[in-house]
Structure formats: structure tokens, C-alpha cells
Structure 1
């Protein structure tokens, strides 16, 4: 029995110390096969190999990880990115019963072998295949252990938007990594209202001639913002050709993806000629936090690379750090896998075993039965590595993606800021912002030295130098040629709009080659809407002329800043109104006259009531009192009333009424003066409202947007609209009138109408402008030329040149000196109802207070009457009480007071006499 327990404890202790706590010696192997597939015959491949081997040695020498289980590394050479050979090499690794593969290096290979990994359930861990389309939904066993290119493209898009650029050119290698990365960049740019204006793909191994041809096409394009997405092999060659073509000078902006920082970190410094080719370039580097583990690893790097200096110094790149963490990530996941009691088993149940008679021996590939469990363990790891926190989100991307933004200057680089998915662009390390709320309102970067050794931000756009001249459509008008006209028999255009365009173009800091192309048949005014549509169709590159900026047109093209304001107005024929004997009645409407007269009488009556008991001027026979009321009422109009008011309420009412009279007199005088001294013009149409409600015919300028506006916005029947072409035709139609085949009114833009009325004084504008439009020059969507010309137009307005051009073409005003104007509206009650309301309220309030005072005095007087009556038979009846009240109201207040005193004395005397008689009787 003792021997049994001794053997048991020996076996138990041997299992514990050999496998670690929680592991069963019978299920945990001595070694686990891990495949590594990278191209180790390149400079970058060799330094990655150093980082991977260092990580494997550290894992195998750490007893806290995997116990005594060793990671057995099977390295397979990835044949210089060759797709098919890489696939074959991957299959060789999988045939060796590897539980996971670190690699591949190429995105092309990753796309293909991810299908094999799905079938065999072998996790692929890659820190270099950063293509954003390698989705965990399609490829669940592909696990990216570095930052996704989607975040790098987001950083570039935010960088472009930060500097206010709108278009970029993308140069990329035409493979999966290049195409998909640029597609992600286009999506992120569009979210910020930017775009890729030109894509310049190159083959995987381009020749110098091909690179030159691509860059020549780029140089001929408009945008000067170039995003280069390639690899460390071809990137320097592209920059060298660009330098020879003069594309690394002032005005250009080069934004390189992380390949450039990888190249600089690997072999820093580069040869002087290569450094000279990339001066001013802005590039990105995957950001790794400054942890203690990172500092220790950086200090070890020189010892690790000692003896590997055949190709020069080997720098430490971000990919080396991610390669080191990838091994530790996998080791911790395998450790968790074993601690959960799992075993590593393979089976040959794959559909590949069904392929009989093939010479590829695909049946040698086995399924890793526990691959799904290991995948879950990998995605569940939460550790701190040399790159910072290593943890996966729900979408299988590493947490806290961030990039450094660096600027190539001199013999090195200078960090200008950071980008993180949490806070955007900033000048402080991202980890210091993770604990704070997301705030993208304060984006900031340090100054940049751009190509050409300048600190001034490039405009990012120039006029394309491709020999193509802009085709600018010019409406060929037949009316109002002061705005746009073509000299007969020539290609020369002139007019107000042409002069504004030429003056604005002269202010641009670059030349604009263009040709004016007439649009229209010369017999009728062309449709400006059709001219704008032809810009979207590519027939014209721009349109210059009297083109109104409307909602419909802004949906098709971009307009410059308006260079003239011009809303729609109504023009009608008018007749002169001669003065008459009854002209003095015209300032007020009949209702206004009636209400004013009523208020004169009401105020006179109220003042009489308030003054009657106190003021002798308002007393006397009834006939005299009526005359007094009438005289006092109307004499206040001229402030000539001779009766004085003595009561406080009467004075208050009179004061308010005299203020009302003052306003009415002033308004009447002003209106009558205008009627008698200024020539008046009469028209039955008062504005657009009265015109819409009528059934008269309406004229409009042929080819303008007015027709659609009247039909769609105002609901006017199309049968009422008459197109007119020339000012002469318009004048004749207005004179004939709607009943004689003409029009009752003409609707057009104010700019045209001002010219029309300059020499035609028998027409006038009625009402106000009922639209607010302006004229602008039209360009295709997102055209930088529209923005630059808008700035030039504003400069013309500020320095006065725009007004001088306006005066040159449009300052003829023959009718302005005649002083004619449309009949003014008569003064109506709605302009004065507030004054009348105040006066009426004052009268009502005064009468109310007066009535209360009277009732109090009468009550006191009536009580005294009752006390003075010796017997009940002497008390008044109801009818006598009314007569007493009326006589009391008619009696002067002084008389009432005097009589009250006399009665009081009589009562005292009566009581004294009564007392004496009683004494005598006693």
C-alpha cells in the first residue's frame, strides 16, 4: 500500500513539474509545430527573422508559458512574393501538422491560402498582410496581428481634409493590397467630401519607362496631392523618377503610406541621393506605445543584429515589434488552449482526401480538429507587449489603432503629430487621450516643411498643363446684349459678364487657357438651363454669362460667388394721374375717414361727460351743449379748442387724443404733399399677388428660368404665359394689354428690367422682388477653379473694380430725373388701429372711473336725504329716486356740496329746537 501511494505521488509530481499547473501530462505534447512563412532573403525579411527568432527563444526559455512544451518553428521561405510558389510553400507547412502559421508576407498569398486555412481550420497570423478586405467574416481563420490598412487610409483622409484639400491622385501597385487599400481611401475621402480625382495603377514590377509614363500623366492632372501606396522595393524608384520630372518641387504634396517609414527605419539613414528624392514627403508609421517592454527590446536590438551587417545597419521597424508580439500572442493562446484541457489532434476527413488519382498528394493535408478552439483563444488574449496593449475587438481588429505622422527633412524625419481612431489628429501621444471623451473638434498638427523647402501650405491644385484649353460656353443672346454679345463675324465676346470673368481670371495666380464657344442659334435666347446641363455631359468645361443661380442648376454644377444680385420683379404699363378738385380726400381710405370722424365725436362726448359737472364751459341749455360737443370735437384736429378742461380724467383723455391727432395730421400732410407735388403713376396691378389672382396674360423672357418658376412655384396656368424675346417686343406687348393680344404684366430679373426701363418711362416696377437670385459662372462639380474664381470675384468687389465694370455697361438711366413714381398706397385703418385702440381704452377707463366716483357721491347724498326726512312718508319712491339721481348728476358739484352743508346745519338746528321743547314740556 505504501509503495502504491509513493508511485502515485511520483507520477503526479512529475506531471506537475513537466507541464505546469493545470496541465495533464498525458494531453500536453513536448513540442508544438508552428509554421513561419516569410521571404527571409530580403533585408526586411532578415530583420523580421531576427525578431521572430528572438521571440521564440524568449517564449521557450520562459517556464511560465507552456511549461516544458516547446514551440517548434518550421520556417518556410516565401519565394519573393510569388503567388503560386507561396501557396505551394504554405501547403507544405500545413502538411507538417502545424497548429498555426505566422504569415504570409504577401496579401496576394493571404487571399488564396485563407481559403485553405478555412478548410483545414489552421489559424493564419499575419502582421504584414494588412489588406482591409481580408475580412474575418469571409476568412475567419485569418487573424491580422498588426494595424488594418483601413485605419491608415482613414488617417490619410483626415490629413487631406485637415489641410482643406478636396482632390487627391493615387499611385499604387495594381495588386490586391494596392487596389483594396486605395478603394478604402476613396471611401474615407468621400465621407469627408473629398475624392480621388485620378488613379494611376502600376504593375507589380514596373519598368522605369512605365513609371515615367504614369508620372507624366499625373503631372498633367489638376491635383497636386499625391498618395503613394506601394512597397519598399519600388517606392524609392518612383520618387527618383518624380525628382527627375520636377515633381518633388514647390506646389506638390506627397503622402506615402507606411512602406516609406519601414524603409527609413530598416536602413536609416538612406543614401544621400535617395534622401534628396523624398524631401518634404509626409508619411505614416504604425504607432507603438512607449512601454517598458519596448524600451528593453530596443536596447537588445543591437545585440540581436550583431553579426548581420552584410547589408549595412539593420534598424528596428514597427513590423519587427509586431512580429515579436505575434509569437507571444500565439504562445499565450496555446497556453490557454492547454490549460482548458484541450488536445491537439488532426484528422483526414477533408474533402481533399476525395481527390483520388491526383499527383499533388493533397490528401496529405489534415484538418486541425481543435482549430476553432485555438482561434478563440487567440482572439481572447489580453496582454501587454512591446507594441502596447494587445487585445482584439469584436470585429477582430486590434484595439486602439494609431499612427505617427512624420515629415522627411534633411537626413531624417520629424514627427508632426499622431492619428488615432479615438481622437483623430493631435500633437500628443494617443494613450494620453484614451481616458478622455472623444473630441475631434480640436484637430492639430505641427508645421510641415513641404517639397520645395517651404512651410507655406500648398494650394493642392493647379490648372492642368496638358495642352487642353477649357471650352467655355457663352449664351448667344439676341436681347440685352449689354450683358453678353458676340462681335459679328468674329469669335470675340464682350459685355458686362465677359468683363467680370476676364477681370477675375487675371487675378488668379496661374494661367487659364480657354476658348469661348457660343451657345445658341442667334435668333432666339438660348436656355441657360440647357447650357448648364451640357457641362455635366462634358460638352463644355464651364459656362460664362447671365446665368442665374437656381436650386435646380446647383444640383448639376458648382457656381462661383454671385457677381450681381438679380431677383424677379413685375413690370406693368402705367398712366399718369392728374390732380383733381377732390385730391385732398385721397390720402385716407373711406373707412379711415369714417373711423376718424367717429372717434372725434366719441372723444368730444367723453370729455363733455367728464367736464359737465365741474366746468361752466360745458354747461347750459341742451342746444348749446350739443354745439359745444361738436365744436370741441373737431376743433381738436387743429388744436384750436377754446374750452378748458379742469378735471383730471378729462385732461388725461384729451392729452392722449391730441397725440393721436398729431400723428394723423402728420401722416395726412405727408401723403397729400406727395400726391400734389410728385407725378403719380397708376396701375391696376399692385404686385405678384394681385397678378397671380387675376386671369391676365403674363410675359416673360424667352430662355430664362422664369417660366418654370411661375408654373411650378406660383401655380400659374401655362396658357397665361407669353414668351417675349426683345425689349421692343416686350414694350409693344405691354402697351397692347392683355385684352388686345398683349400682356398685362411682364416678369423678368431686375438686372434686365433696369436696362428695359432706362429709356421707357411709361412702364414701371410694381411691388417688391419676390425671389432672391444672383448670377454666377458655372463649373463642373468640385472644380477648384470655381473656388478660386469666387475668391477673385470677392476681391473685385472689395477693390471697386466690379462696380466700375457695372457702371461701364449698365449705368444708363434716362428716366431717373423725372421723379415719376407709382401711385402710393392710400393710408388705411390698419396703419393706425393701435392709436385708436389706445384712445378708445383711455376713454373707457376714464368713464369707468368717473362712474364710480358719481356712484359714491350719490350714495352719500342719498343717505343724507334719508336722514333729513322727518317721517317715512317723506321718503322717495323708486321713480322719485331716479329723478333725484338725474338731478344730482345735472347739478354742479359745488352746489351739491353747499346744499349738503346747509342741510347738515338745518338738522343740527332742528335737533336743538326739539331738545328745548322737550325740556319745557318736562
Structure 2
């Protein structure tokens, strides 16, 4: 019988139409099946929709099953204590078998506690029921699916338009809103979106809202994600319009529950919300079931609420209707009213209602996976498309849906101020140029050179880093004024100036992990790494013995052994055929040596008698030819080209030898060499310019130097005959630009810097060509251009 009810549910609308218009009390002859309670805020729009929808459900169920129910409605006045008193009255006085509502989690907690104590199921319309709630209150059933996945839709919208910074505005007076804020913050942060500011809206009527919005307006970020109740949202947008924050350049993204009630707002209120984008709960507004509900609801709602301008049903009406229908079906199948049978029957429901699938798992409906994207324009809103969890954006919902990862594919959006283009999402403070710090102590003068003229009181900045920064700024999609300022201190202190807000950004700094506590960095525009440079030395120390160098000691020993062996073999084979070989031991030894050495000085030799001797001689002649030719080639190479090698092979050899090493003044290398590479501080020497390293090597002050990869390439290109790189490349840093933490400029600067590399248009090609031997197009030259500030 239960499964039959489930199959016949979609047909109730046709049966209801056949019976005509009816009320709960029309069936006087029918026996009452029980009493149902409804707790809601009678003065709110969602409360008015729920009251009408529940009454309609009772009427339709009577026409469907010829069973009627007594409906008792109580007003919570949006107050949790009033909701609790209403629940107590419904249970003790009206003897209700189940309660529908309330809408907020704050009210639901008290009602659920009373209902569980009295073994009375409560079907909560609050959409943010925690996982632990049903364990604490076993008679609590969530008939409204939670909407937390809408935060992922918000993230998808933000990423579609490449906004990397947002402000969050939420209501912290309600725990469900606080949980929604937690989901928003987490999902945005995980996706790489920086939360610039968070504003908890004070209670309605507070005079601090304009001041709080004024602070947000003075910041960089112009993207606002709003999660508020209807009353607070209306107050927010009206205040924002007065502060001119609903104009061009601003972005407002709004979430449920506000978006599901936009249709009920009057034109005056809507005028302060032009251009906002909303994530709205979705339910299929199609089919005979909905058409019947829609037409009947509008008539009944207008009759009971004549002062409401809009009589269209929303998601709250659909959910309340489904809740009442679920309860009526369950009560109709229950005979024992005060045991757990009613709760069991409720949880066994499985049908498609107005709001979607009604199927409970752990006393909750499945979370919503589909949301509608709307755009407020004029006196109403435009339905832009849909977002489906795990699939993305689409224009329609159905089998023919085509999904995209970007909302841009849905079509044109009307933004605040009616611009056709997409807002940047942030606006820099343009009352004064950005202050850019430039290091004076730069070791690589080709990178940055600061020339200060005291007589004319001018400062000139030049170098390829200056050129790269200017070229990057020119590729930004907007004009960004800036001014260079010299800084004569260490690089660590230079980066700290961003944190202290003395500079808006600094350039030509190495990207090191510990510096992230003070600033954020762009991607590096040079090869990252630190290399060890050591002097070269000749492999030939004594030129008087140069003739011995073509072969190693092992090779000489091997040749001598071969000579003795071949001489002995020839002596053994020829002594029987040649009387002159016989004689004293000294004579025979000399003859044996002469037979072996003959092929090294002449290839014919004397006539041999034994055929075996001739075979040995052929082999020995071939080996002798190879030895003599190899020796001649190696000796000629040594006489014509100098053979060089590094004085040290690896860092362990350097560390164990206790040799002093050099590093750049004011750079991170002192910290790196001392703490990471573990050299003693007394063995460290610092130098300001590359030329000082060369002089220090020549004076034997240092035996090695650690340089960043760009500086090492330039140094070795200039002193390639004296010094060489030894050991591995230590992957550290790389030159980049540093901005304040959370700066909205970083994504755009990174994009421009990448574009600069990809198109090869540095605007300074002549400068780079000079140092082409450096092997890196971004550090190949010092700039010919100079700039004065």
C-alpha cells in the first residue's frame, strides 16, 4: 500500500483539479486522521508562503485520499523562545502528532529538544542542520536539504572571472549563517582566493554599518560575497547605494536564503540591488504538478496576503508543501500514534515532490547539488543559468546539458553601474603613485644600479630589473602609476619595509621562504639557485716532466710490462734459431730488450726466423703503433693548450679544509651559507661588487665564493679564464618582485610577467644582447636605458 501511495503522488494534482476548490474543513463527513502543527514567522515572506503551501497540501491530500487533518499554526515571531512556547502548546494542548518548522536553526534547537522529550517528530525547514543534531534529538528530521554546497558555486563564479581577492559579509547573530561563513572561507581559501576583509553585520538598526562599509570601500578589493537574511541584506544594499558602492567596478555575489526571496521584493528595494549576482536554490518549476500548484498558490496567497505585491511561490513554499505531504502520507499509514511508527514511516518516504527528491538518509535529505545563477536587473531578476556540483555551469538542466567550467559561457552579465566589460574586482588607490623600493647594495650592477647625484639632487635607476619592471607595468590591463625610491640597507630589511608599509613593493629581491612572513612574491624572472665559484688551476704543475704527462702512471707500468712480456716471448722463440742470442745472461737480457723495443722506434726490425715470432711481432707492431700515436697526440695537446681544473671539487672538501669563503653584502647568502651550508662565521667574508671577488681570489683572501645564479653567470662570463663553477646548483630563490601580503596586484603582475617572457617583448632587447653568453634571456645584459626619479 505504501509503494502505491508513492506512485500515485504525482497524480494528486489532476485529482485535485477534478474535485475543484476545497479547504481543510470541506470534508466534514471524513474522520480526522490527526493533528499537525506548523511553527513559522507569520510576518516574514517565507512564513507566509509556508502557511499557504501547508494549507494547500492538506486540501490536496484530502482530495487525493479522502483523509483530513487538523492544522494548528503558531507564530514564532522569529524568536527562539516564542518558538519553544509554541511547540509546548501544540504538544500539550493541541495534542499534535508532528510539527513542521521552524525556519531557523536557532529556533529549531529548542523545538527539537521539546519534541524529542515528548516523542513527537519535528520536520525542520532549517537548511543548516549539523551532523550531530539527530544523535542529540532523535525525533528531528531535516526536510530541507542543506545548502552548503552553494559555497562551491560561489568559488566557481569568482574563479570564472579571475578574481583573486574577495570580501565576505555575513550575519553572525545566527549559527547557521556562521557555519555558512565557515564553508565560504574554507572553500575560497583552498581555491587560492584571498579573503581581504570579513565583516559581520551588526543587528538591524545599528549605526555602525555605514562606517564599516566605508572601511571596505577604502580598500583595494571590490568583490563582495554576501550571506545575510532578507532584512539585513536590504539594509546593506540600501546603505551601499548611498555610499556609491553599487556603481561601476564593484561586484556583489549573494547566497541563499536571500536570493530565494528576491522575487518578493518591491521595485524600490530592487533599485538598490541592480547588478548583483545570486546563487539561488533550484527546484524544477515544470510539469503538471507544479502548474497546478503555481496557479492555485497565487490565488490563495493573494487572498490571504493582499498587501504582498508578488504572489509567486518560491522554494520555501515548495519545501513546506512537500513537508506537509510527507507527514500526511506517513500519518495516513500509522495506527499507533504514540510509538516510533510515525517517525519510521516518515523516514521511509521516497518520492519526487515539488522541491525535488524526498528521500531520507540519517534523517536528512541529500544536500543540494544544483543551484540557479541569477542576475538582478530592473524590477526583477534574470535567470542566467545553472551550476551543478562536480560538473560546472550550464544553460539548461537536463539530458542535453552542456557543462563549462566558466560562468562566462552562460552569457552577458549586468554588473553594478551597467558596464559591458567584466569588473576587475579591485581598484588601486590612485591618489598617489605606488612606492617601489630599489636596493642600493645590489651586487650585480647589471641588474640594478642606483646613481645618486648630490649636486643636482637627482637619483638615476638603471639595469635590466628596472627595465623588466617597467615593461611588466606596461602590460597590465590598467594604468598604475609608481615611483622608485632607493634603499641603502640589507635585502632583508628592504623586504620588511613592505610589511611596515613604507613601500608598496620592492624589486630585485631573492624569493626566500622566511621572507614570506613580510611579503608575497611574484614568480621569479631569473633562474633560481646558488652556485659555488672557485679559481682554476693548471693540471700540469712541472713542465720539465711534461713528457711523462701524456700517460698516467698505471699506463706507464702497463706499457713496461708489455715490453718485458713481448721481449721474453721473442727471446724464447728465436734463441733456438739465432746463435747470436745465446751467450752470457747479460747478453741474452740485452738482446731480449732490443727485440721488444725495436717496434717502438722502427716498424721493420731485423729478420725473424720463427713463424711464431713473426705472428707475435705483427701483433706487437700494431699495439706499438697505437701507443706511439696516442702519446704523440696527447703530448701535442699539452704543448698547445693549457689544461685547467677547479681548485676544489665539492662543498665537503671546502668545508673540511677550513678555507674562507665569500658572499654578497646585504643578501640572504650570509644566512644561507652559515645556517644551511654550515660554514663557520669566522670563515665568511662579504663583498659588494663582482670585481671585489676577483681581487679577493687573487690575493688568496678566499678560496671559494657563493653567488646567486644570475650574478655567477655574469661573473664567470667576465672571468672565464680564472674561475669556474664547482659542485651542484643549490635550488634557492630567484629574483622577483615583492608586494604586500594579500596585494591584488600579484595575479596581474604574474600574468604580465609570463606574457612578457612568452612574447619575448621586453622592450629592452638591445640591452639583453650584450650579455648573450650568460645563457639566460632575462639576465643577459645590463640595460642601456636609465630612469631618473
Give the alignment's TM-score, normalised by structure 1.
Answer: 0.64
Shift of 1:311: 3.2
**2:148 matched to which residue of 1?**
150
- Structure 1 counterpart SS, 2:186: helix
Distance 2:130 2:458 in 1: 54
> Counterpart in 2 of 1:324?
321
Alpha-carbon offset, residue 631 of structure 1: 5.8
Question: Does residue 799 of the first structure (1) align with residue 766 of the second (2)?
Answer: no
C-alpha deviations, 1:119-164, integer Å up to 9, x for none? 5554432325546699434555443311213232233234434555
1:695 match: 658
Contact 2:436 2:485 in 1 (8 A): yes
Say which SS state the counterpart of residue 321 (structure 2) adopts. Answer: helix
User: Which residue of structure 2 lines up, in the alignment, with residue 366 of structure 1?
Assistant: none
Cα drift, residue 54 of structure 1: 0.6
Tell me, yes or no, if the aligned pair for 1:111 and 1:134 is still in contact at 8 Å.
no
Q: Distance in 1 between matches of 2:564 and 2:257?
A: 97
- Partner in structure 2 of residue 485 of structure 1: 450
Provide, for residues 490-527 of structure 1, a one-character-per-residue CA deviation record: whole Å limited to 9, x for no partner: 69472433443333233322344666666555xxxx2x
SS in 2 for 1:770: strand
Instruction: Check the 8 A contact 2:436/2:503 in 1, yes or no.
Output: yes
Asked whether the 8 Å contact 1:579–1:676 carries over to 2, the reply is: no
Stretch deviating more after TM superposition (325-334 or 558-567): 558-567
The offset of 1:386, in angstroms, is 2.4
| 1:665 to 1:801, Cα distance in 2 relative to 1, 3 A | farther
**1:785 corresponding residue in structure 2:** 745
Match of 1:178 in 2: 177
Structure 1 residues 631 and 747, CA gap change in structure 2 (3 angstroms): same
Corresponding position: 1:56 with 2:58: yes
1:722 paired with 2:685, answer: yes
Structure 2 counterparts to residues 286-305 of structure 1, below 5 A: 286-288=282-284, 293-294=289-290, 296-298=292-294, 300-302=296-298, 304-305=300-301
What CA distance in whole angstroms lies between the structure 2 residues aligned with 1:184 and 1:783?
23
Deviation of 1:326 (Å): 0.5
CA distance in 2, matches of 1:84, 1:469: 56
CA displacement at 1:716 relative to structure 2: 3.9
How far off its partner does 1:44 sit? Answer: 4.1
Distance, in Å, in 1 between the alignment partners of 2:561 and 2:256 is 90
- SS class of match (2:730): coil
After superposition, residues 27-46 of structure 1 pair within 5 angstroms as: 30-46=32-48
Structure 2 counterpart of 1:569, from 510, 531, 534? 531
- Is 2:374 the counterpart of 1:407? yes
1:793 alignment partner, SS class:
helix
Structure 2: how far apart are the matches of 1:400 and 1:759?
Answer: 67
Q: Answer whether contact 2:567 2:592 (CA < 8 A) is retained.
A: no
Aligned length: 713
Q: Per-residue displacement from partner, 1:19-38 (whole Å, max 9, x unpaired)?
A: xxxxxxxxxx9453322122
**Alpha carbons of 1:716 and 1:447: their partners in 2 closer, same or farther (altered >3 Å)?**
same
Q: 2:33 touches 2:331 (CA, 8 Å); kept in 1?
A: no
Which one is further off, 450-459 or 754-763?
A: 754-763
| CA deviation after TM superposition for structure 1 residue 484, in Å | 4.9
Q: Deviations over 1:658-709 (max 9, x none)?
A: 9x959x968984x766654456667633454542443322222343333443
Deviation at 1:227, TM superposition (A): 1.5
**How many Å apart are 1:102 and its aligned residue?**
1.7
Structure 1 distance, partners of 2:419, 2:682, is 65
Q: Check conservation: 2:529, 2:730, Cα contact below 8 A.
A: yes
CA contact (8 A) 2:153 2:279 kept: no
Deviation at 1:778, TM superposition (A): 2.2
| Other structure's SS at 1:54 match | helix
- Secondary structure of the residue aligned to 1:767 is strand
Shift of 1:776: 1.1
Determine if the alignment matches structure 1 residue 418 to structure 2 residue 414.
no
- 2:475 alignment partner, one of 479, 497, 507: 507
The separation in 1 between residues aligned to 2:221 and 2:352, in whole angstroms, is: 43
Whole-Å separation in 2 of the counterparts to 1:221 and 1:592: 77
Alpha-carbon distance, 1:548 to partner: 2.0
Residue 75 (structure 2) aligns with:
77
Q: SS at 1:184's partner residue?
A: helix
The 3-state SS of whatever aligns with 2:662 is strand
Match of 1:389 among 353, 357, 365: 357
Report Cα offsets for 1:202-232 as digits up to 9, x if no partner.
234257x766544443333333332222234
Distance change >3 Å, CA 295–CA 562, structure 1 → 2: same
Greater alpha carbon shift after TM alignment, 440-449 vs 779-788: 440-449
More RCO (CA 8 Å, sep 6+): 2
Structure 1's 43 and 280: CA in aligned 2 closer, same or farther, altered over 3 A? closer
The yes-or-no answer on 1:749 pairing with 2:718 is: no
Residue in 1 that maps onto 2:697: 734
CA contact (8 A) 1:132 1:181 kept: no
**Pairing 1:37-436 to 2, within 5 Å after superposition:** 37-63=39-65, 70-79=68-77, 81-82=78-79, 85-96=82-93, 97-128=95-126, 130=128, 135-161=133-159, 163-176=161-174, 177-206=176-205, 212-236=210-234, 238-239=236-237, 242=240, 247-248=245-246, 251-259=249-257, 261-266=259-264, 271=267, 274=270, 277-279=273-275, 281-288=277-284, 293-294=289-290, 296-298=292-294, 300-302=296-298, 304-305=300-301, 307=303, 311-336=308-333, 338-339=334-335, 342-344=336-338, 370=339, 374-394=342-362, 396-399=363-366, 401-408=368-375, 412-420=381-389, 423-427=390-394
Q: Which runs of 5+ in 1 are unaligned?
A: 1-28, 345-369, 614-618, 814-922
Contact 1:294/1:387 (8 A) holds in 2:
no
Equivalent position of 1:770 in the other structure: 729
Q: How far off its partner does 1:51 sit?
A: 1.0
Does the 8 Å contact 1:417/1:426 carry over to 2?
yes
Shift of 1:390: 0.8
Partners of 2:87 and 2:766 lie apart in 1 by 75
**Contact (CA 8 Å) 1:107, 1:130: kept in 2 or not?**
yes
Q: Distance in 2 between matches of 1:598 and 1:292?
A: 106
CA deviation after TM superposition for structure 1 residue 788, in Å: 2.0
User: Is the 8 Å Cα contact of residues 646 and 726 (structure 2) preserved in structure 1?
Assistant: no
3-state SS of 2:261 partner:
helix
Unmatched runs of 5 consecutive residues or more in structure 2? 1-30, 582-590, 775-789
Residues 1:706 and 2:636 are matched in the alignment: no
Name 2:522's counterpart in structure 1. Answer: 560
Structure 2 distance, partners of 1:166, 1:306, is: 45
In the TM superposition, residue 628 of structure 1 has moved relative to its aligned partner by: 7.9
Taking a change above 3 Å as real, the CA distance of residues 414 and 286 of structure 1, as seen in their structure-2 partners, is closer
TM-score by length of 2: 0.74
Q: Provide the residue aligned with 1:549 in structure 2.
A: 511
C-alpha displacement at 1:186, in angstroms?
Answer: 1.2
Mapping 1:649-660, distance limit 5 Å: none
Aligned-pair Cα RMSD in Å: 5.1
> Aligned residue for 1:828?
none
Q: After superposition, where does 1:441-480 map in structure 2 within 5 Å?
A: 446-452=409-415, 458-460=423-425, 462-465=426-429, 472-477=436-441, 480=444
Structure number with higher strand proportion: 2
CA deviation string 1:796-825 (max 9, x = no partner): 444342764864997999xxxxxxxxxxxx
Change over 3 Å in CA distance of 1:312–1:673 after alignment to 2: farther
Say if 2:127 and 2:145, in contact at 8 Å, map to a contact too: no
Verify the 8 A CA contact 2:223 2:251 in the aligned structure 1. yes
**C-alpha distance after superposition, 1:4-46 (max 9, x if no partner):** xxxxxxxxxxxxxxxxxxxxxxxxx945332212233454433
**Matches of 2:711 and 2:497 in 1, distance apart?**
25
Q: Give a deviation string over 1:773-809, Cα, whole Å, max 9, x none.
A: 4211223455442232222333444434276486499
